[in-house]
């Protein structure tokens, strides 16, 4: 009897949490000017920072998990969506799921529909600091920081802890193995893994 009451209490708690996250999430998205086709499914609250004159766009039924209780591997941080320069753009397609994922754009990061982005994946389109040694710590002049758009096409699966770096395009249907560092393009229907990520197999077409 006690066990049944315990699990019933958990269900009630989870239902109340989802209502709370949806309420606060709507305020958060509106406050940051996020453009949505439909309100995303939230498990925990993401962190969203939208630079003035930049855009964050979400397709239909995007799922963002920021709470370890609602994903098998857990997450070390909430989902973070951040634009850090005017005219930067983040676009996430319909039915894409993110768990503790960091997406940080200085120019453009485009993620297609029906993608799976595993726990603690990081995607960024810039180096955050200039490469030249002189005054690297303090010189954040945008023109001196290298950046290049990132494109992740439809139905891509990126495994836990992977990093996708600037200028990369990952073709549709491809799979990126856990812990990979992707610094070059990956063709469609490929399996890639490693540091740096290399194609190690092909998916049947």
pLDDT digits (tens, 9 = 90+) for 54-93: 999 999 999 999 999 889 899 999 999 999 999 999 999 9
pLDDT recorded at residue 7: 64
CA 101-87-123 angle, 5° bins: 20
Active site residue: 18, 61, 129, 144, which one?
A: 129
Judged against a pLDDT cut of 90, whether residue 103 lies above it is answered with yes
Of the two residues 141 and 175, the one the predictor is more confident about is: 175
* Residues 181-201: tens digit of each pLDDT: 999 999 999 999 999 999 999
pLDDT recorded at residue 11: 76
What is the C-alpha separation between 96 and 110, in angstroms, rounded? Answer: 12
Q: Both tokens of residue 78?
A: 């909430």
End-to-end CA distance of the chain: 52
Domain that holds residue 90: 2-202
Interacting residues of 88 by C-beta distance below 8 A, sequence separation 6+: 51, 54, 55, 105, 106, 107, 108
Order of all β-strands in the sheet with 89-92 = 35-36, 55-58, 89-92, 108-111, 150-152, 169-170
- Examine the residue annotation and report whether 129 is marked as an active-site residue of this protein: yes
Interacting residues of 174 by C-beta distance below 8 A, sequence separation 6+: 153, 156, 157, 186, 187, 188, 189, 190, 191, 192, 203
Interacting residues of 9 by C-beta distance below 8 A, sequence separation 6+: none
How large is the average pLDDT for residues 172-183? 98
What is the C-alpha separation between 60 and 35, in angstroms, rounded? Answer: 11
CATH code, domain with 65 = 2.160.10.10
Judged against a pLDDT cut of 90, whether residue 109 lies above it is answered with yes
What is the C-alpha separation between 23 and 204, in angstroms, rounded? Answer: 43
Specify the number of domains making up the chain: 1
Burial 58-75 (b: 16+ CB within 10 A, else e): bbebbbbbbbbebbeeeb
């Amino acid at each position: 009897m006690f066990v049944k009451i315990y699990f019933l209490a958990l269900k009630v708690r989870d239902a109340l949490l989802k209502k709370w996250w949806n309420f606060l999430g709507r305020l958060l998205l509106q406050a940051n000017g996020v453009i949505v086709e439909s309100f995303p499914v939230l498990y925990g609250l993401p962190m969203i920072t939208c630079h003035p004159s930049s855009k964050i766009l979400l397709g239909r039924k995007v799922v963002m998990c920021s709470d370890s209780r609602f994903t098998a591997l857990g997450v070390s941080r909430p989902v973070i969506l951040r634009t850090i320069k005017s005219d930067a753009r983040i676009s996430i397609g319909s039915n894409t799921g993110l768990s503790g994922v960091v997406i940080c754009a200085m120019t453009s990061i485009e993620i297609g529909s029906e993608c799976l982005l595993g726990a603690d994946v990081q995607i960024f389109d810039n180096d955050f600091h200039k490469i030249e040694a002189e005054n690297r710590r303090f010189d954040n002049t945008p023109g001196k920081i290298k950046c290049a758009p990132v494109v992740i096409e439809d139905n891509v699966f990126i495994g836990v802890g992977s990093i996708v770096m600037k200028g990369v395009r990952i073709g549709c249907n491809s799979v990126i193995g856990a812990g990979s560092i992707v610094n070059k393009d990956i063709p469609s229907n490929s399996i890639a893994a490693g540091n740096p990520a290399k194609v190690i197999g092909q998916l049947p077409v």
